[in-house]
Amino acid sequence: MENMDHSPNSYSMDLDQVRKVFDLVHSRNEELVGIYHSHPTTKAYPSLKDITYNNYPEITHIILSFAHSKIQPDVEAFQIKGVRVIPFKINKIND
Ligand SMILES: [Zn+2]
């Protein structure tokens, strides 16, 4: 997805792109199980905007943080239900 904000500090999606992705997922008989995005300069934890504008409480949100390394990001996963942020264990390749 293209970041329609064209900003390293915020992110928004174009509704037509979202519809196309959901159409593609549906046409492949697949299911949306998670969404990932990156935090270029902040930690791998949902921001206030991530929590406030979360439209997908039923799926896993994966956040990659490049705050400490531009090569090997910190990767964390969460479920966001209302204002509750619930860490979600994922297996990492280097664990
Ligand atoms: Zn975020």
Domain boundaries, the chain: 1-31, 33-88
Residue % of the chain over a pLDDT of 90: 77
Question: In this structure, are residues 22 and 61 in contact, taking their beta carbons and an 8 Å threshold?
Answer: no
Average pLDDT over every residue of 31-58: 93
Alpha helices in 1-95 (DSSP H): 15-27, 48-52
pLDDT, tens digit (0-9, with 9 covering 90-100), for 73-92? 999 999 999 999 999 988 77
Average pLDDT over every residue of 48-63: 94
Q: How far is the CA of 28 from the centre of ligand 1 (A)?
A: 28
CA distances from 79 to 14, 26, 41, 86 (A): 23, 23, 21, 5
Q: How far is the CA of 37 from the centre of ligand 1 (A)?
A: 6
Q: How far is the CA of 69 from the centre of ligand 1 (A)?
A: 17
Q: For domain 33-88, is the CATH number 3.40.140.10?
A: yes
Q: How far is the CA of 11 from the centre of ligand 1 (A)?
A: 8
Amino acid 94: pLDDT: 63
